[in-house]
């Protein structure tokens, strides 16, 4: 089954064609970073307008590259939420109209289920059950995943998402938006032992996260060392990153131990972070767990992951009516 999938929940206009939830025939991602960069974050109204401009060419390119074209499609999917409502509406309305026009079934997909299903587009996908850490710009949560569509929320952030903390710290350090990738690159040149920032485990046995205290600690450090911090930016980035990675990897391993799952999965934009990937692979191997990491290209927002999740929704009979609406906030399971 070939699915055309569309993703417009934030600042990436993306389209992909995915076969049987497993094989990516094409995947096109048009980033709006240049548009939002000067504002230091995503401006929702600008995001919606840019999606409107980009959606037709991006879908056209995805269909061209797929090699199957419009006639080879069996269904259409689009991200339904959570995300920016105006941005979501562009892709969701486009998807519905396209499906209606071609007489194909349409299904709305949860963005978070999409991130978790990205791992099934890899050569060696995990078996069920597993524990998934979803760490992105909008979410940081742990899920006990027992099927493509059954994901039990174990814990989530009480304040900032991990990616949001990366972005805010980057902004404080004058590195622009989005800052996750830049901080990750700087951190590789720095020494994480030089500056020790606080790790917030909240209740150490629980699975909730908190990153706002860490962000405030970095702000205080930058204020205290206003004249000198520019001389050791790499060490600050490394110290901050290490604090985030310590907490994320600790809770992921603990969740796997507690649920008895022999596998852990990373997903979301922060899963592109080299240090996090390294640590999760090393700690999983020490504990005897299998670690499954999607390639970096599938960690950030893309439409292929939506196509992968959509396949399993359609398999279980889910079809969205044409009057279905998008949603801005939602919890999985």
Binding site for ligand KG4 (CB under 6 A): 10, 136-138, 163-164, 166-167, 178-181, 184, 268-270, 272-273, 300-301
Give yes or no for residue 301 binding Zn ion (CB under 5 A): yes
Task: Report residue 233 as tokens.
Answer: 């930016």
82 binds, among ligand KG4, Zn ion, none (CB under 5 to 8 A by kind): none
Give yes or no for residue 66 binding Zn ion (CB under 5 A): no
Cβ atoms < 10 Å from Cβ of 157: 20
Strand order across the beta sheet in which 2-7 lies: 23-31, 12-19, 2-7, 75-81, 106-110
179 binds, among ligand KG4, Zn ion, none (CB under 5 to 8 A by kind): ligand KG4
The C-alpha angle with vertex 284 and arms to 279 and 289, in degrees rounded to 5, equals 165
How many residues in the shown chain lie near Zn ion by CB under 5 A?
A: 2
Length of the chain in terms of residues written: 333
Minimum CB distance to ligand KG4 smaller for 26 or for 136:
136
Give yes or no for residue 302 binding Zn ion (CB under 5 A): no
* 3-state SS track over 272-331: HCHHHHHHHHHHHHHHCCEEECCCHHHCCCCCHHHHHHHHHHHHCCCCCCCCCCCCCCCC
Longest dimension (CA), the chain: 64
294 binds, among ligand KG4, Zn ion, none (CB under 5 to 8 A by kind): none
181 binds, among Zn ion, ligand KG4, none (CB under 5 to 8 A by kind): ligand KG4
Minimum CB distance to ligand KG4 smaller for 99 or for 175:
175
Q: Least Å distance between CB 221 and Zn ion?
A: 29
218 binds, among Zn ion, ligand KG4, none (CB under 5 to 8 A by kind): none
Query: Closest Cα partner for 82 from 161, 24, 25?
Result: 161
Give yes or no for residue 136 binding Zn ion (CB under 5 A): yes
- Which residues here bind Zn ion, judged by CB under 5 A? 136, 301
């Amino acid at each position: 089954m070939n699915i055309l999938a569309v993703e417009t929940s934030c600042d990436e206009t993306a389209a992909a064609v995915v076969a049987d939830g497993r094989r990516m025939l094409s995947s096109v991602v048009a980033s709006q970073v240049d548009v939002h960069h000067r504002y230091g974050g995503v401006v929702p109204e600008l995001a919606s307008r840019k999606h409107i401009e980009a959606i037709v060419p991006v879908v056209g390119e995805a269909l061209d590259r797929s090699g199957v074209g419009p006639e080879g499609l069996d269904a259409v999917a689009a991200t339904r939420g959570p995300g920016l409502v105006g941005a979501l509406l562009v892709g969701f309305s486009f998807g519905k109209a396209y499906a209606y026009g071609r007489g194909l079934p349409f299904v709305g997909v949860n963005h978070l289920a999409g991130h978790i299903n990205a791992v099934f587009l890899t050569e060696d996908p995990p078996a069920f059950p597993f524990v998934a850490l979803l760490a992105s710009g909008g979410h940081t949560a742990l899920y006990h995943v027992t099927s493509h569509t059954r994901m039990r929320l174990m814990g989530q952030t009480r304040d900032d998402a991990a990616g949001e903390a990366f972005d805010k710290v980057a902004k404080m350090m004058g590195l622009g938006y989005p800052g996750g990738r830049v901080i990750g690159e700087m951190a590789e040149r720095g020494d994480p032992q030089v500056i020790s920032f606080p790790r917030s485990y909240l209740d150490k046995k629980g699975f909730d996260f908190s990153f706002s205290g860490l962000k405030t600690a970095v702000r205080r450090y930058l204020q205290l060392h206003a004249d000198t911090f520019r001389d050791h930016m790499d060490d600050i980035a490394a110290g901050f990153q290490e604090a985030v990675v310590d907490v994320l990897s600790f809770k992921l391993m603990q969740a796997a131990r507690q649920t008895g799952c022999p596998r852990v999965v990373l997903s979301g934009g922060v899963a592109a972070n080299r240090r996090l990937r390294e640590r999760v692979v090393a700690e999983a191997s020490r504990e005897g767990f299998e670690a499954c990491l999607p390639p970096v290209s599938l960690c950030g927002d893309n439409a292929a992951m939506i196509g992968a999740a959509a396949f399993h929704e359609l398999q279980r009979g889910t079809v969205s009516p044409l009057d279905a609406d998008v949603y801005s906030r939602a919890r999985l399971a």
